[in-house]
Amino acid sequence: MPATAAEASNGGAPDRRRLVGILALQGDFEAHAKLVRALGAQAREVRLPDDLKSLDALIIPGGESTVMTLGIEREGLAEPLRAVVRAGTPVLGTCAGMIMLDRDHLGVLDIHTRRNAFGRQVRSFEADIDVQGIDGGPMHAVFIRAPWVAEHGPDVEVLGRVEEHPVAIRQGNVLAVSFHPELAGDARLHQLLLASVRK
């Protein structure tokens, strides 16, 4: 069975010094914050460029990518977010967060995503998928108006697929998935993010 956040936090010493920023312009950032705190780290909601200071890791959650794009432009967050990635800070993007990181948006991942690739809201689904680097068996993935990676460069490692479409990828310090691990209560990607901080 996949480790829940509570179970994961019992597996080792809490990492209370780690500060994880969660982009909080739109989307279910509170569910991510709950998992981060359950793992013993601190969560900070990111709405302004100053909120990005002194972060150990960053999460860009799901939501509506158009609304998120407008919010990033309004608050002047685009270049500060790029600077966080360029500095080597571990980053996790989920669903719309994957879209925001692609070539057409923040441009920090060498991928092109297809929005609503599996269909609109009525085509949302759940599936168990294997993700390389994640121990404990398949992840129960919740896909809601989810994208997939339609094209990627040579430095992008595909970690998981659905129907041969990449839905979990990694490039350098950035991990991105098409699904919502926070809705399934599976903290393993968040654990991986915190482990990257320690490395």
- Show me where the domains of the chain are located: 5-198
- pLDDT over 60 (residue 75): yes
Tokens of 164: 């041969």
The predicted-structure confidence for 78-131, as pLDDT tens digits, reads as follows: 999 999 999 999 999 999 999 999 999 999 999 999 988 876 654 578 999 999
Q: Domain 5-198 is in which class?
A: alpha beta
95 is catalytic: yes
Which entry of 32, 105, 180, 190 is annotated as an active-site residue?
180
Q: At a CB cut-off of 8 Å and minimum separation 6, what does 14 contact?
A: 39, 40, 41
163 is catalytic: no
Say how far residue 173 (Cα) sits from the centre of its chain.
12
